[in-house]
Chains A and B, each alone.
Chain A
Amino acid sequence: MLKTLLCISFIVATVLSAAALVASVFDVNLPLGLDFILQNSPTPQKYLIETMPGGVALLDYNNDGLLDIFLVNGGRITSPMQTPETFDRHDPRYWNRLYRQNKDGSFTDVTEQAGLANAGDGNYGMGVAVGDYDNDGYPDLFVTNYGKNILYHNNGDGTFSDVTAKAGVAGGGWSVSAGFFDYDNDGKLDLFVTRYMDWDTKHSKDCGGNYHTYCPPEEFPSTTSILYHNNGDGTFTDVSQRSGIAAKKGRALGVAFADYDEDGFTDIFVANDGMQQYLFHNNGNGTFTELGLEAGAALSEDGRRLSGMGVVFQDYDNDGRPDVIVTELPREIYGVYHNDGGGSFSHRSLETGLGVLSSGSSGWGVGLEDFDNDGWKDLFVAQGHVLDNVERIDPSLHYLELPLVAMNHNSRFERVDSGSATPVAGRGAAFGDLNNDGWQDVVMTYLGGHPQVFMNRGGKLHWLVVSLRGTRSNRDGFGARVKVNGQTRFATSAGSYASSSDKRLHYGLGAAEKAKVEIVWPSGIHQTLDDVHADQFLEVREPEKP
C-alpha cells in the first residue's frame, strides 16, 4: 500500500513538474512494427551486466533513403548463472533486431533475412557502432558484448555476414561503446572499443549489505580499451599497445571523437566510470597521449572523479570548437567541458545551467542536436539510475526517470517537457531524422521495455542536412569538420552511450533560407559551398584533388 502511494505521488509529482515546463518538441510513440523489448534479465544475484545494456543505431542499411533501426539485446541470465554462459541468444526473445523502415513510417523486422539473428553464444549484448569500414557504400555493424564482439559486413543486398574472425576484432571481456573513426587519415575507418572492467559472472558480487545492490565500479579491476587499425583488406590490427591506448587502464563506458585542437587528427574522449575521464590526444604519428588532467577535462569542477557513462563531443556554443558533455550519476552533475582553444578545456556545468538540471539524475545516452532548428544545439539525455532499488537507499533518487530535453538558448540549457510521461530506466540513445522532414528525432532504449521514439513535431524554421561522400577521405567522411552558417559539427556516428547515430549532419538554420557550407575533410581538403538552399538533403562529394 505504502509502495503504491509512493508510486502514485511520484507519478503525480512527475506529471505536475512536466506540466510546468515549456511544451515538448516531441511526440513520443512506438511506430508500428517496432516490437523490440530490451531483455536485460535482472536477477537477485545483481550481475552488473544486467543494468548496462543496450545500444541503438540509426542507419540506412539498404540505402533507400530511410533510416532503419538496429537494437542490441541483453540476453537471458539464469539465477544463479549456469555455466557455460549462453544467455540463450538463440531464443528469438534475446536476438538483436534490425528493423527496416517502410515508406509509411512503420517498421518491418528483417533480422532473420538480414542474417543478424545469431548474436553469438556466450554474448550478452551491450552496444553498437556503425561505419562503412570497407568504403563500399553500405554501412557495416559492429556489436559489442560481454563476451566476444561481432563485426557484420553489409553485403549490399539486404544481408550481413559475420566477418569477425577474418577481421580479427572479436576482442573479449566486457565491451560497451564503440566507434568507427579514421585516426591516421588513411581513408579507412579504424575502430575504437571501450571496455568497462575486468569482471565476469564467476567473480560477481552484490553490494549494499541488506539492500543487495549492483556494486560500484571500484569493486572490480580496471581494464584497457582497444584500438584497431583498419588494414584495408577486410582485416584489422590491434594497435592498442603500439598507439599508447593500452597504457591507460580505465573503466570505459562511452567514447566520442573530434579534433579538439585543430591539428587535423581526430582525438578520442573516453567516459570512464568512477574515475577521471580520458582525453586521448592524437599525436598524428599513430600514437596517442592521454591529456585529460592537463587539458582540464578529466574531473569535476572541484577536482572530483566522475561516473562518466555517455559522452558527446560537439560544439554547443557555436565557437567552432568541439566541447565535451559527459553524463554521470546523481550528485555529480553532468560535466560540460568547454573547449577554450589551445588544447585547454574549462568546466562549465553550472554556467550552462546543467548543474541544476542534472544534479539529481543519472545520465546515459546523450546527444547535442538542434531540435528546434534555431541554430543552437540542444541536449537530450537518456536517464535512469544504475540501481533498481535506489529509492530504498536514497528516496530522493529514482531508478526510473524521464529523459532530459534541454533547449540551448545562447549556450544556456533550459529544460522543456520531454514529451514522455512514463519514467523508464533509459540507457541508449541515437539521433537522426527518421521521417526526413528536416527535424531531428531520437530513439531511446530502456531496460525491460520497447524503445521510445521521440518524433520531432517540426516547425517553420529552416534546416539543412549534409551527407558526406568521402573520396580521398573515408567514404563516410567521419572526422570532417563541417561549418554551416557559423555552426560546426564534427562528422561521426559515434558518441552517446553504446549507440550510433545517423551519420548525416543536421543544421538548424533559423530564419535563413540560404547557407554557406564549409568543409574540412580528413584528407585536409577544404571545400566551400555558397548560397546553398535551405530545407534540403545535400550530398557533398569530396573533391578528388585539393
Chain B
Amino acid sequence: MIRAFLFLWFAWQTLSPEAAQHMQAGIVADKQRQFDVAIAEFRKVTQLEPTFADGFISLGQTYMEKHDLASAVAPLKRALEANPDSAPAHQLLGYALLAQGYAAEAIPHLQRVGDKTGLGVAEIQTGQLPEAIANLQAALADRPNDPDLLYYLGRASGLLSKQSIDTLVAAYPDSPRAHQAMAENYFVLRQMPEAEKEYREALRLRPEILEVHLELGEVYAGAFQWAKAEEEFRAQTQLQPGNAEAAYRLGAALLEQGKAHEARAEFLRADKLLPDMPETLYSLGKAASLEGDATAAEKEWTRLLSIEKETSLAAQAHFGLAGLYRKQGKTEAAKHEMQEFQRLQGGANPQAPGK
C-alpha cells in the first residue's frame, strides 16, 4: 500500500501542474460519480501527458464504471504501451475484454496479475474446463461461499461432465456407459420410456454394471411402477449389499406397496450401513407404525428428532408421534406433538413442499 502510494507520488511529481490539476479534478468528479466530467478531465491529462500510464488507467476505469466497456479498452491498451508492467491496467483490461466476450484476449492479462476468479470465468468461455475448475476452486478457497464463484464452479464442473459424456458417447456409442449416460440424460428430461430403454440396453451389455439398477428403479418409481422399482432396487442391493441408498430405496418401494414388514427390514439394513440418516429414521418409524409396532415407531421418530429439530422431516416425525399418542389415548402428548408439527409447518394449515 505504502509502495503504491510512493509510486503514485513519484509519478505525479513528473506531471505538469496543468495535467496534475486535471488529474485531481478527474479524481474528484469520479468520486462524485460524475463520470462524464471525470472522463473529460482524464482525457485532458492523457492529451497533456501521453506517456503517463495512470492517466490512461483512470480514463479506462471511469469508462468501465460508466459501463462503457468498449471505450475502456483503448485507453487501457495505451496505458500498457506506456507501462507494460502495470498490474491495474492488465487487470482492468482483462475484465473489460472478458465482459465483452473476448475471453481468449482477456486471459493473458488476467494471468499476468494472477486473478483466479477472472481467469476461471474466462477459461469456461474458452472451453479450458479443467483449468477453469482449478482456478475457481483456488478463488473459492479465498472467498468461501461466494455465490458467483459457486455458480461458476458448478457451471464449469457441469460442462466438464457433459464434455466427458459427449466424448464417451461419440467415441463408444454402443458401450454400456454410453447407454447409461444417455439414459441419465433422458431421465433429467423426464423422457422415461427412452430412459428405460437406454438403461435396459446398458444392463444387457453389462449385467453387473453399477448404479444402473438403482437409476432404473428411480425411473419406475417416478412412473409409480412400484413393483418394477422394487425389482431394480433389489437387484442393486444384490450387486452392492453395502450400498445404503439401494437398501433405503428398496425399503421405500416396498413401503409404497404396503409391504411394511419387508420395508422395515431394508430400512434397518440401510440404517446399519449408514447410521442416523434422517430420511431412513423417518421411514423406519413409518414402517414400524404401519406394522403396528408403536414402540419402535416412537423410538425411531424420537431418534430422528434428536438429530433434526427444525426441518420438514422433523415436522413429519412430530405428526407421526401425534398419531401414535392419539391412538394410545395420550391426549396431552398428542396435543404437544401436533403443536410442534404446526409450529414447524408455520400454522394450522400446513403446506406440502413441491406440490
Stretch at the interface among A109-117, A151-159, A299-307: A299-307
Which residues of B have CB within 8 Å of A305? 349-352, 355
Cβ contacts A301-318/B at 8 Å (1 or 0 each): 111111100000000000
Q: How far apart sit A346 and B256, CA to CA, in the bound complex (Å)?
A: 17
A396 touches B223 (CB 8 A): yes
A275 touches B256 (CB 8 A): no
| B336 CB within 8 Å of chain A | no
| B319 CB within 8 Å of chain A | yes
Given contacts A303-B350, A305-B349, A344-B327, whether A352 and B190 have CB atoms under 8 Å apart is no
| B121 CB within 8 Å of chain A | no
| B348 CB within 8 Å of chain A | yes
| A121 CB within 8 Å of chain B | no
A356 touches B226 (CB 8 A): yes
Given contacts A274-B355, A305-B355, whether A299 and B319 have CB atoms under 8 Å apart is yes
Given contacts A395-B191, A396-B190, whether A351 and B350 have CB atoms under 8 Å apart is no
Given contacts A351-B290, A359-B224, A360-B224, whether A304 and B352 have CB atoms under 8 Å apart is yes
Which residues of A have CB within 8 Å of B348? 276, 293
Cβ contacts B139-164/A at 8 Å (1 or 0 each): 00000000000000000000000000
- Of chain A, the residue at the smallest CB distance from B286 is A301
Which residues of B have CB within 8 Å of A344? 326-327
- Of chain A, the residue at the smallest CB distance from B318 is A303
- Of chain B, the residue at the smallest CB distance from A343 is B326
Given contacts A299-B319, A305-B351, whether A355 and B223 have CB atoms under 8 Å apart is no
Which residues of A have CB within 8 Å of B84? none
Q: How far apart sit A396 and B226, CA to CA, in the bound complex (Å)?
A: 13
Which residues of B have CB within 8 Å of A396? 190, 192, 222-224
| B341 CB within 8 Å of chain A | yes
- Of chain B, the residue at the smallest CB distance from A307 is B355
| A29 CB within 8 Å of chain B | no
From residue B117, how far is it (CB to closest CB) to chain A in Å? 33
- Of chain B, the residue at the smallest CB distance from A9 is B193
Cβ contacts A272-315/B at 8 Å (1 or 0 each): 00111000000000000000011010011111111100000000
Cβ contacts B272-307/A at 8 Å (1 or 0 each): 000000000000001000100000000000000000
B257 touches A356 (CB 8 A): yes
A355 touches B257 (CB 8 A): yes
Q: How far apart sit A302 and B311, CA to CA, in the bound complex (Å)?
A: 13
Cβ contacts B303-341/A at 8 Å (1 or 0 each): 000000000000110111011001101000000001001
B255 touches A350 (CB 8 A): yes
A276 touches B327 (CB 8 A): no
From residue A283, how far is it (CB to closest CB) to chain B in Å? 19
Q: How far apart sit A293 and B353, CA to CA, in the bound complex (Å)?
A: 19
- Of chain A, the residue at the smallest CB distance from B224 is A360
- Of chain A, the residue at the smallest CB distance from B219 is A396
Given contacts A299-B350, A301-B286, A305-B349, whether A355 and B256 have CB atoms under 8 Å apart is yes
Which residues of B have CB within 8 Å of A388? none
| A244 CB within 8 Å of chain B | no
Which residues of B have CB within 8 Å of A296? 322-323, 326
Which residues of A have CB within 8 Å of B351? 218, 305
| A137 CB within 8 Å of chain B | no
Cβ contacts A180-208/B at 8 Å (1 or 0 each): 00000000000000000000000000000
| A518 CB within 8 Å of chain B | no
Q: How far apart sit A486 and B169, CA to CA, in the bound complex (Å)?
A: 65
Given contacts A303-B315, A355-B258, A356-B258, whether A330 and B224 have CB atoms under 8 Å apart is yes
Given contacts A351-B258, A359-B224, whether A395 and B352 have CB atoms under 8 Å apart is no
Which residues of B have CB within 8 Å of A353? 257-258
Q: How far apart sit A274 and B350, CA to CA, in the bound complex (Å)?
A: 10
Q: How far apart sit A305 and B312, CA to CA, in the bound complex (Å)?
A: 13
| B345 CB within 8 Å of chain A | yes
Q: How far apart sit A352 and B256, CA to CA, in the bound complex (Å)?
A: 11
Among candidates B192, B227, B350, residue contacting A276 with C-beta atoms closer than 8 Å: B350
Cβ contacts A1-26/B at 8 Å (1 or 0 each): 00000000100000000000000000
- Of chain B, the residue at the smallest CB distance from A272 is B349
B290 touches A350 (CB 8 A): yes
A395 touches B258 (CB 8 A): no
| A531 CB within 8 Å of chain B | no
- Of chain B, the residue at the smallest CB distance from A348 is B290
Which residues of B have CB within 8 Å of A342? 329
Given contacts A301-B286, A305-B350, A346-B323, whether A293 and B338 have CB atoms under 8 Å apart is yes
Q: How far apart sit A124 and B349, CA to CA, in the bound complex (Å)?
A: 30
- Of chain B, the residue at the smallest CB distance from A293 is B338
Which residues of A have CB within 8 Å of B190? 394-396
| A216 CB within 8 Å of chain B | yes
Q: How far apart sit A304 and B190, CA to CA, in the bound complex (Å)?
A: 25
Which residues of A have CB within 8 Å of B223? 360, 396
| A340 CB within 8 Å of chain B | yes
- B interface residue numbers (CB < 8 A to A): 190-193, 222-224, 226-227, 255-258, 260, 286, 290, 315-316, 318-320, 322-323, 326-327, 329, 338, 341, 345, 348-353, 355
List 13 interface pairs A-B (beta carbons < 8 Å), by A numbering: A275-B349, A299-B350, A301-B286, A303-B320, A307-B355, A330-B224, A332-B352, A350-B260, A355-B256, A356-B226, A356-B258, A359-B226, A396-B222
Top 9 closest pairs, chain A to chain B, by CB: A303-B319, A360-B224, A304-B352, A350-B258, A396-B223, A359-B224, A305-B352, A356-B257, A302-B316
Q: What 20 additional pairs, Cβ within 8 angstroms, besides A300-B352, A353-B257?
A: A216-B355, A218-B351, A276-B348, A276-B349, A293-B338, A299-B319, A301-B286, A303-B341, A305-B350, A306-B352, A330-B224, A342-B329, A344-B326, A350-B256, A350-B258, A351-B290, A353-B258, A355-B258, A360-B223, A412-B258
